[in-house]
Amino acid sequence: MGPGARTADDDVLDAVVTGTCDDPFSILGRHRVVVDGRPALLVRTMQPAASEVQLVTPGRVYGMQRRRPEGLFQATVPFDGGAPESFAYRFRIREGTATRDAVDPYQFNQILSDFDLHLFAEGTHYRVWERFGAHRMTIDGVTGVHFAVWAPNAQRVSVIGDFNRWDGRVHPMRRLVPSGVWEIFVPELRDGDCYKFEVRTAAGHLRQKADPYARHFEVPPKTASAIWSDTGYEWHDDEWVRDRPSREGWRERPMAAYEVHLGSWRRVVEDGHRFQTYREMAATLVPYVREMGFTHIELMPIMEHPFGGSWGYQVIGFFAPTSRFGTPDDFKFFVDECHRNDIGVILDWVPGHFPKDEHGLAEFDGTALYEHADPRKGEHQDWGTLIFNYSRNEVRSFLFSNALFWLEEFHLDGLRVDAVASMLYLDYSRPEGAWLPNEFGGRENLEAVSFLQQLNVLTHGRLPGTITVAEESTSWPGVSRPVHAGGLGFSFKWNMGWMHDMLEYVEEDPVHRRWHHGQITFSLLYAFSENFVLPFSHDEVVYGKRSMLAKMPGDPWQQHATLRTLYGYMYSHPGKKLMFMGSEFGQWNEWNVDTSLDWHLLAEPLHEAQRRWVRDLNHLYRQEPALHQVDFEPAGFSWIDCHDADNSVVSMVRRARDPGEFLVIIANFTPVPRLGYKVGVPEEGWYRELLNSDSEIYGGSNVGNGGGAQASAVAVKDFKYSLSLTLPPLGVVVFKKGSGL
């Protein structure tokens, strides 16, 4: 070999300094060599910012030779031939005028176990968040952070961050074959240090990716992950969590959820219109919800998302509460306060799709890794997002563990799964020819069906008492039926049909409602086919649909009265309840994600009265078993009269498990008072008027029945007894059999 000829060693070193080496642990760190026939150790380190590096051992300090101008240093030291792992050393690095000591990351062996990698590849690692991502640990007396990420088709992966000047040549990771997982243990990192993974694709392109398992992020619009150590938050909801398995009877419990977008519920106007923190909302939102009588807070997604205009539904950090409002411990404090105030917490969860942001999951290692490669199956054209590949085991491990993560780590009481219909149907919102049929030629996404079934078996089995709720807008059968019976296994399903029918009905002028009477009665033909939630959600008050109050026809008084009647009917109808923030006090404006609700409206009597009506509805709903105990069986409901279209009146009986516990409810959807209106009732006796939406305390005209009415032995329709009532205009009245005045 002639002078200046390149050696294999030169090629390897060049690969290190150019960031193309796919096996850095074979080059960097300590390695046994023989020099002049004697055993020695060769130690290498990549320090691009260093002007000088020394190798510090217990007995001597060695100067390290700069082998490449890009910052590759090495030293050869005598060694007695023992195990290289017994050789203790550190680096003393001079950068400008500063000198620091550092422990070499390349002296540590593989950390992830083969069993972890096996479970992950099998799709059954349900606690993978404890292994992947960034985790503080101590190895051989050295404290640092272990990083692990899945990128099987990458040529090289490095962790980059504040601690290495974002230089991918400094900390290239170890490839664990054949799992496609990369890992490295970096000593002496600090909480709050920002980082990403630099992925070199097989085509040689560099991508900077946020950590899919990161527990914390920079505050958006910045996009880096941040090191976060579990501080061992001290929970105070032991009684709540201990009693939660007994809540397996949630079908018979009251559930009235207040849907909240934390960033726009109530901002701090006097401080630059900033967000409230999680801890501030624990002191403001939680008492408000308790006073209003809601049983649950349902949070729109609080997983980290760079674009606020997505409302949280385009998630980047699936394992991180958004840093907009504070730290993970701050969010735990918020949940803790909810539980201490007897309020459950449900989180909107988004396993149906993810955004195309360059730093996110999209083409994570240069290939379609989390998504399908074919856009006919892997992309939502309408939303500009990508669809998870539910047939890939590693993706299933990611999503299953993510669901359990929120329920376990943050003590959440349930997950509302977003856009389930888009997961179930391969042709969802796709024209002919733009979708791929399943193996049997059908439109059902069989992998997604299997995923959802396993999700529900997992969450219900491992965390008894927690719930799952499907936002599913089609007639897919058995959404809330058990998996063993062929269903999807959800606890509840949103009743989108009821919601659309009711809103179309009340938006009609009252004089025309008689011709649309079937819209308020049709839902009882299928009310017990699923475990339904009746939702008036954020989707109904955006994009020109108008606020709930603004949908109502007539003058402001009639609008408020109609909204009260609608809510009264909602709370009388079988099914659990959900109401979006601001709808409880009759906000005029559509919801705006970039500002607060219009809280100033509560200074106006009609809006404060509207809020009081919802509060009292909630408290009555919780107090009366007849309104919540038998929601999903015909035994809990019967019509008194559903045919009075001419008067636009419906009347019904709601029953508890105890057949003697029942309520009589009548709703008048016209502005005309009905005097001497005959209503059949199950039993003779005095019926107290428990609630009247037309009471003056709710902004009404105070038309009512003087506190109650006596049932007489006058048969009406199928009932032997009846009440003669005054029905208030655009009003709901609720009666309960009890003692006379």
DSSP string, 688-706: EEEEETTSGGGTS---S-T
Are residues 705 and 664 located together in one domain of the fold? yes
256-285 average pLDDT score = 97
Check residue 739 and give its pLDDT: 57
The answer to whether residue 547 is domain-embedded is: no
Q: How far apart are the first and last CA of the chain?
A: 113
Check residue 2 and give its pLDDT: 46
387 touches 378 (CB < 8 A): yes
The answer to whether residue 322 is domain-embedded is: no
How far apart are the C-alpha atoms of 233 and 329, rounded to whole Å? 6
At residue 741 the predicted structure's pLDDT band, cuts being 50, 70 and 90, is very low
With 0-12 CB in 10 A as exposed, 13-18 as middle and 19+ as buried, what is 165? exposed
At residue 726 the predicted structure's pLDDT band, cuts being 50, 70 and 90, is very high
Check residue 214 and give its pLDDT: 98
List, for residues 46-89, the tens digit of each pLDDT value.
999 999 999 999 889 999 999 999 999 999 998 876 777 778 89
Are residues 703 and 729 located together in one domain of the fold? yes
**Of 107, 136, 166, the domain-final residue:** 107
As a whole-number percent, the residues of the chain with pLDDT over 70 amount to 98
168-181 average pLDDT score = 96
Sign of the CA dihedral running 394, 395, 401, 404: negative
Are residues 77 and 154 located together in one domain of the fold? no
The answer to whether residue 200 is domain-embedded is: yes
Return left, alpha or beta for 272; rule: phi > 0 is left, psi -120 to 50 is alpha, else beta: left
CA distances from 213 to 76, 99, 227, 316, 451 (A): 39, 33, 11, 10, 20
Residue ranges of alpha helices (H) inside 18-66 are none
The total number of structural domains that make up the chain? 3
| Residue 471 is a catalytic residue | yes
Are residues 78 and 158 located together in one domain of the fold? no
Are residues 76 and 131 located together in one domain of the fold? no
List, for residues 117-163, the tens digit of each pLDDT value.
999 999 999 999 999 999 999 999 999 999 999 999 999 999 999 99
Is residue 4 predicted with pLDDT exceeding 80? Answer: no
As a whole-number percent, the residues of the chain with pLDDT over 90 amount to 93
List, for residues 409-421, the tens digit of each pLDDT value.
999 999 999 999 9
Quote the strand ranges of 368-430, DSSP E.
379-380, 385-386, 414-417
Are residues 118 and 209 located together in one domain of the fold? yes
Q: What is the CATH number of the domain that holds 140?
A: 2.60.40.10
| Residue 140 is a catalytic residue | no
Q: Residues 447, 471, 689, 694: which is the catalytic one? A: 471
Are residues 103 and 154 located together in one domain of the fold? no
263-275 average pLDDT score = 95
The answer to whether residue 676 is domain-embedded is: yes
Check residue 87 and give its pLDDT: 85
**Of 226, 255, 284, the domain-final residue:** 226
CA distances from 546 to 187, 283, 563, 590 (A): 55, 30, 13, 5
Are residues 637 and 731 located together in one domain of the fold? yes
Is residue 36 predicted with pLDDT exceeding 80? Answer: yes
At residue 502 the predicted structure's pLDDT band, cuts being 50, 70 and 90, is very high
Q: Residues 418, 472, 616, 689: which is the catalytic one? A: 418
What does the DSSP 8-state code read for residue 478?
T
Are residues 80 and 130 located together in one domain of the fold? no
Q: What is the CATH number of the domain that holds 715?
A: 2.60.40.1180
Is residue 731 predicted with pLDDT exceeding 50? Answer: yes
- Domain residues for the domain of 161 are 114-226
The answer to whether residue 611 is domain-embedded is: no
Are residues 222 and 122 located together in one domain of the fold? yes
Are residues 119 and 221 located together in one domain of the fold? yes
Are residues 121 and 47 located together in one domain of the fold? no
At residue 289 the predicted structure's pLDDT band, cuts being 50, 70 and 90, is very high
The answer to whether residue 165 is domain-embedded is: yes
* Mean pLDDT, all residues of the chain: 95
List, for residues 632-651, the tens digit of each pLDDT value.
999 999 999 999 999 999 99
How far apart are the C-alpha atoms of 65 and 76, rounded to whole Å? 9
**Of 90, 107, 124, the domain-final residue:** 107
The answer to whether residue 479 is domain-embedded is: no
The answer to whether residue 562 is domain-embedded is: no
Among 242, 229, 314, 327, which Cα is nearest to 278's?
327
How far apart are the C-alpha atoms of 541 and 582, rounded to whole Å? 10
At residue 674 the predicted structure's pLDDT band, cuts being 50, 70 and 90, is very high
How far apart are the C-alpha atoms of 190 and 176, rounded to whole Å? 26
The model's pTM is 0.95
